[in-house]
Structure 1
Amino acid sequence: MERFGTLSFGHYGPLGGGHQLTARDSMHQAIDLAQGMDELGADGIYFRVHHFARQQASPMPLLAAIAAKTKRIELGTGVIDMRYENPLYLAEEAAAVDLISDGRLALGVSRGSPESVVRGYEAFGYTGSTDPRGADIAREHFDTFLRAIDGEGLADRDPHSPFGGGVGRQAIEPQSPGLRSRVWWGAGNRDSAEWAGRMGVNLMSSTLLTEDRGLPFDELQAQQIDAFRAAWRDAGHAGTPRTSVSRSIFPLTTAEDHMYFGGRQDGDQVGIIDGTRSTFGKTYAAEPDVLVEQLLDDAAIRTADTLMLTIPSQLGVEFNLRIVESFAKYVAPALGWTSTTEKAAAAVS
């Protein structure tokens, strides 16, 4: 494990007991959490994106704010639903955030997860899909997005324009060098992972896979990563792609940790989601030394380079920073991790 960070669902709303977490609270707490994690030396902070829900729906303003207030931490999404996106506008926004952050954006995108509404992307104006889940729209938008960040001319210049028209095709602006290498596809099964490998983008794999092969979740996910890397090599792409997995992991170091998560450790589960038989990864909650042994035995964590910890964002900044600090101090080093602050110090020396 070379890197670890957090994956936040960004929920807000009633907390019980008359307390309320507002959208404003959620975003300001996300910024504060990012600053704290940057100081701790964690590698990344990533956000789920959901529309028509009390969660993060427009992540670019939030990521820009985080970029302006942090120095080293990677910031990104896991994932943006491409069915809802204007691909050229997303390309402009992504390039801007990547430039503001000095190349720290990890832009995770995909077809999107199950929704609380029926074909919500049609309400955004994206109609005409022949797929029941809109996968054709997502792939079409993604293709246009990649062409845009690659600098391809996508609109005819106006030779009569008083603003420097000319002839030929014009690319979107701004362009951010290297952004393509920081794009990830969130794959829910082996086929989509292989497709991402052929496309030459990085792989994000979640705590849910929309397939059931009768294998433990971690082995199923490790096979998905292997298939992705094989597809990358077969397509002739240069370099080494990044791969990430997300897990619910809670080091139990205080009485409060035990109150919230003690006894929460469970096994893999198989169920139906979005009409598909799916495999859900288990929750890890134990004392740090036990966690180390369990995570070293997780096949997908062993093979991926980045681990994302799903966090209970509703519990606030202080609680989540303590989870991150406990993981960084007591668990991550045994998995091969070195903090960004240590890496920076070693680079200077």
Structure 2
Amino acid sequence: MKGFGFLSFGHYGPGSGSQTVTAKDSIKQAIELSVAADELGVNGAYFRVHHFAKQQASPFPLLSAIAAKTERIEVGTGVIDLRYENPLYLAEETAALDLISDGRLALGMSRGSPETALRGYESFGYTGSNDPRGGDIARQKFALFLRAIDGEGIAPSDPRATGRETLLRVEPHSPGVRKRIWWGSGTRETAEWAGQMGVNMMSSTLLTEDAGVPFHELQAEQIAIYRQAWKDAGHDGNPRVSVSRSIFPIMNDTDRLYFGRSDGDQVGIIDGFRSTFGKSYAGEPDKLVEELLQDSAVMAADTLMLTVPTQLGVEFNMHILESFAKHVAPKLGWKPNTEGPVTAE
């Protein structure tokens, strides 16, 4: 394992034990947690994006604030729902954030997961999808987004303003930012597509397919398909792959109270698909090391994202990260981050 970071779902609201009651709490605590994680040597701070819900919804102000206050930690999303986005404005924000962070960006995007709103992207003004889940407009937007961040001319110039007829690119432009774009893949088919497109791949604790095998084996197959597709497409270099897991080292009675029982893989229906949910890991550090070494997808990826219970507050979430960093991660091959983002070999 080359790197690990935390993945925050950004929930806020009143509730038993919640220390993240308001949107301001969520945003401020996300920054505080990221700064502390950077000082610890954690590799990444990543955030889920959801609309019409009490979660993080517009990641760029948050990620820009984190980038400005940190030195080494990678900042990113897991993932931006492209159905809700203007691809050219997204390209502008992406380049600006990449410049602010000095290339410490890991911007994950995809069709997105189910939202609380019914076709909420249509309320944002994005209509015309022939897919009831909006997958077609997401991929169309992604294609235009990639053209824009690559610096391709997009808009016809006004000769009265420019003195010539040409195609204008989106500004600002950040060279090389495409190497820091990720696709959130939930199936083997989308993993192959991401490899063909030449972008990095994020894979979460949910796969929207079921092959009758343990979750980690299905995910490891997905990773292998992705890397083969990358190679077959003739892309240069090696891509990065991240997977997310719920992992809780049990260090004291409080940890045991919250997370004393691990859950196995589960199969169910989500968004109309028969889907596989990955297990949670909870236990003494040595037990976690043994189990994670047997997780073929964790071992195949270069980066592991730990999903954290953000409503328990910064102090408790730093306790989780510190426990993992000190007692688990080094035995998986990890070393504290002293230089910046992970690179694929």
SS in 1 for 2:46: strand
Aligned to 2:72: 72
Structure-1 residue corresponding to 2:343: none
Cα pair 2:18 2:312 within 8 Å, conserved: no
**Once the 2 structures are TM-superposed, how far is the Cα of residue 175 of structure 1 from its aligned partner?**
0.6
2:189 paired residue number:
191
What is the Cα deviation at residue 255 of structure 1? 1.4
1:115 aligns with 2:115: yes
Mapped partners of 1:228, 1:12: distance in 2? 35
Q: Could you say which residue in structure 2 is the equivalent of 1:153?
A: 153
Which whole-Å CA distance do the structure 2 matches of 1:93 and 1:193 have between them? Answer: 25
> Residue 40 of structure 1 aligns to which amino acid in structure 2?
L
- Map Cα deviations across residues 218-244 of structure 1 (whole Å, 9 max, x no partner): 000000000000000000001000000
Say which is worse superposed, 7-16 or 186-195, in terms of deviation.
7-16
TM-score (norm 1): 0.96
Alignment-derived partner of residue 164 in structure 2:
166
Q: Could you say which residue in structure 2 is the equivalent of 1:295?
A: 292
Question: In structure 2, what is the equivalent of residue 222 of structure 1?
Answer: 220
- Runs of 4+ residues over 3 Å off in structure 1: 17-20
**Which residue identity does 2:180 align to in structure 1?**
R
| Percent identity of equivalent pairs | 69
Question: What SS does structure 1 have at the residue aligned with 2:160?
Answer: coil
**2:19·2:312 contact (CA, 8 Å) conserved in 1?**
no
Q: Distance in 2 between matches of 1:44 and 1:20?
A: 21
Letter of the 2:299 partner, please give it. R
Q: CA deviation at 1:166?
A: 2.5
Match of 2:244 among 246, 256, 272: 246
Mapped pair 1:277 → 2:299: no
Deviations 1:99-151 (A, max 9, x none): 00000010000000011111110000000000010000000110000000000
The count of corresponding residues between Structure 1 and Structure 2 is 340
Rounded Cα–Cα distance in structure 2 between residues aligned with 1:56 and 1:266: 26
Q: Does the 8 Å contact 2:20/2:312 carry over to 1?
A: no
Q: Distance in 1 between matches of 2:254 and 2:238?
A: 41
Trace 1:27-106 onto structure 2 (pairs within 5 A). Answer: 27-106=27-106
Q: For 2:159, what is the secondary structure of its paired residue?
A: coil
Change (3 A) 1:135 1:165: farther
| Amino acid paired to 2:101 | S
Q: Aligned partners of 1:113 and 1:18: how far apart in 2?
A: 25
For 2:55 and 2:122, the matched residues in 1 are separated by 20
Task: Identify the residue that residue 213 of structure 1 maps to in structure 2.
Answer: 211
* Aligned equivalents of 1:300, 1:126: Cα separation in 2: 36
Residues in 2 aligned to 1:275 and 1:252: alpha-carbon distance in whole angstroms: 36
Whole-Å Cα distance in 1 between the matches of residues 163 and 193 of structure 2?
38
Q: CA deviation at 1:333?
A: 0.6
Distance 1:165 1:22, change over 3 A: farther
Question: Partner amino acid for 1:117?
Answer: A
Which letter does structure 1 place at the counterpart of 2:205? T
Which runs of 5 or more structure 2 residues have no equivalent in the other structure?
A: 341-345
RMSD (Å), alpha carbons: 1.1
TM superposition shift of 1:165? 4.8
SS in structure 2 opposite 1:127? coil
